[in-house]
A and B are shown apart, each in its own frame.
Chain A
């Protein structure tokens, strides 16, 4: 297929971005690389010396590794929301953000399970999950659900990128080197944009987007059941699955908005990622925030009102200023009310305002996962009569921080390198529309609404 003039014009716009790095980008890569090496060092140390160098002990057996695990799987919902729900609803404005969302999904679904591995005492026995796997265990459900979800998300990302690979393959742009061409030729899998291929691709994408929604819901439900199935105060709750799902979409949308903001700013994509995208996603964020607040209220109100001994014990710890009070306030009040207010008030409903709201959401959701895991583990049914302070109170060690920041760094790196291989805005989607200006189809669409 020959690229049209408009395609070439679009490529002209995106290829320099993909092939050249600014100084800021280079600094970012170096910083993230160093963080990754720091994490690698911590990991080697942890394997060599055992988990005693983490803050985890017999009561708090799961620390921030599990917090990070839930957090990353949670933000993977960005893709499920955009590619699944918005695709099926045929929402036109999703087109420029579809790739950012799908990349978030794939990276975080790969990163999340790594934290489970970090939490495992015997990494060398990973094969036991296959050799001796028991379907009765929620961990097995999790392994099955996450792998299926990851494969589904990867297929979706791939299908949505094939037309762009084809465009890049056929491009005459001299900035695209030989090895890049070879890469695009391989991944374009012979796509030439014929009528039949286009139909098949659309069918495939529709099927995957339908499949990915129940899959995404299942992944986080199963994840919540790891906690919900135990007889622990604060965990043994019937609403845990929907609660986790809502919190996951909430944080996923937040990360998506932040990623959009960053790409818009550093790749100068103002004419693609417009204020209206932020506003629409902001409103979705507001609705999700309200839903999350509702679940939170319902969860703690029933626990407090029913006032079962252990449940109450836990809730008092959450409200105690000297224990988890500040964190609880941040996760349950600030993390809900502040974003809702910022987005609800027209004056603050700007790109920067919505991004700040998203930053609050994302951090609050991390803290939320922390106060789900740690306080419950610090509230065993039998008293903790132990003179060892580290067994009674969990405190995060540098090893755990190193591996956490290393994970975030890998997230950035992965994202950065992805944007170097494919245009972060799907070109093909813009070629297909018949408007002369890139992104103007969007404007028309949005103006009609």
Chain B
């Protein structure tokens, strides 16, 4: 059974693929990616396109594949049409290069975050991460004695001067033209130098054999970051595979408060799934900044200061598991002194 990370819907879709076509895909990784991306594209574009695009020159095999449309209906289409819609062939060379016409950025509005932890959970679900591995973390910050506490979601900063990339002895972690810092887990030797070099603790190590269940057919890609491999380093990848199909990363869409904005700096647009705004205007109006600018790492993640906050930091402790709540014990004791 093929399972890929894009969307729960895709997983359902792939259940309906006849076994015959599935076996064919086993051998070739690129072909697999192409097919699965084609499938996902089809699904996102909706049944209207899939059924409407039938061109006469396609040799119809008579075989039908069921796909699910965006409104949840099943539709039968010819497998040949799926190949027609292929436009995302991601070779490993391509995955290392990225799109030169893009520059991915994220803007995080600290005024809206209340530690709902949906970003963490969705990220874990999409990347088949165990509960203890978090690629996006939420910290309870307090910069100094007399300043206010605030919730601080932190993905990988995808720095433009990345320390981690500099120190990698084998080029397993690399910087792309579109600004992303990704990891090739098939090349990583597990020296952990990048983990010590990253000043933002963004990287996690696969200390034991990964427990998630992904089919062996799924071949690793730096763009999907799955399947994980023991003894290698993982981290937030800014979901370039989602961007390829015009979707926002799961952390962005999962957030109930629209805290996270994701977009392309060259296009000057970022979106939190609800509203799409001009990146430069957002940064200008809300005085956006980058965390620890003084380190000179040039992050691609911008923060909007926690002013006129929608929630009191204490709100962040609602519905937390005991384990998560215990993490913030020390930081929480400091909130109590603040004015409510």
Contact = CB atoms under 8 A, between A and B. Distances in A.
Interface of A: 49-52, 56-59, 61-62, 116, 119-122, 125-126, 128-129, 131-134, 136-140, 143, 226-227, 229-232, 377, 380-388
A192 B171 CA distance: 51
A143 B189 CA distance: 14
A140 B166 CA distance: 12
A118 to B, nearest CB: 11
B324 A387 contact: yes
A61 B192 contact: yes
Question: What is the interface residue range for chain B against chain A?
Answer: 35 or more
A50 B199 CA distance: 25
Contacts of B326: 387
A107 B297 CA distance: 40
A121 B232 contact: yes
Contacts of A121: 188-192, 205-206, 230-233
Q: Which 3 A-B pairs have the closest CB atoms?
A: A121-B190, A121-B231, A139-B169
26 contacts: A50-B206, A50-B207, A50-B230, A57-B207, A58-B204, A120-B190, A121-B230, A122-B229, A125-B188, A125-B190, A126-B189, A137-B169, A138-B193, A229-B197, A230-B167, A230-B196, A231-B163, A231-B295, A231-B297, A377-B196, A381-B200, A382-B201, A383-B140, A385-B327, A385-B328, A388-B132
Given A230-B197, A381-B199, A387-B326, A122 B188 contact: yes
B205 A128 contact: no
B187 interface: yes
A138 B297 CA distance: 18
A125 B189 contact: yes
A382 B139 contact: yes
B114 interface: no
Contact of A120 (B189, B199, B295, B328): B189
A267 B200 CA distance: 55
Contacts of B233: 121
B74 interface: no
A86 B280 CA distance: 65
B63 interface: no
Interface string B24-54: 0000000000000000000000000000000
Given A122-B188, A140-B169, A229-B197, 12 more contacts: A116-B191, A120-B191, A121-B191, A121-B206, A122-B229, A125-B189, A128-B170, A131-B170, A133-B170, A138-B167, A231-B297, A385-B139
B167 A139 contact: yes
A126 B189 CA distance: 7
Nearest to B230: A50
A125 B184 CA distance: 13
B331 interface: yes
A226 B292 CA distance: 22
Nearest to B202: A382
B169 A129 contact: yes
Contacts of A122: 188-190, 229, 231-232
Contacts of B188: 121-122, 125
A132 B139 contact: no
B18 to A, nearest CB: 37
B191 A51 contact: no
Contact of A232 (B199, B229, B292, B327): B199
A128 B232 CA distance: 13
Nearest to B295: A231
Given A58-B195, A229-B197, A383-B139, A132 B172 contact: yes
- Of residues B166, B188, B190, B295, which shows the largest number of chain A Cβ atoms within 10 Å of its Cβ? B190
Contacts of B229: 122
Interface string B273-311: 000000000000000000010010100000000000000
A58 B171 contact: no
Contact of A386 (B191, B231, B327): B327
Contact of B201 (A58, A131, A387): A58
Contacts of A133: 169-170
Contacts of B331: 383, 385
A119 B191 contact: yes
A61 B196 contact: yes
A229 B167 contact: yes
Interface string B223-235: 0000001111100
Given A52-B207, A138-B167, A139-B191, A231 B197 contact: yes
Nearest to A49: B208
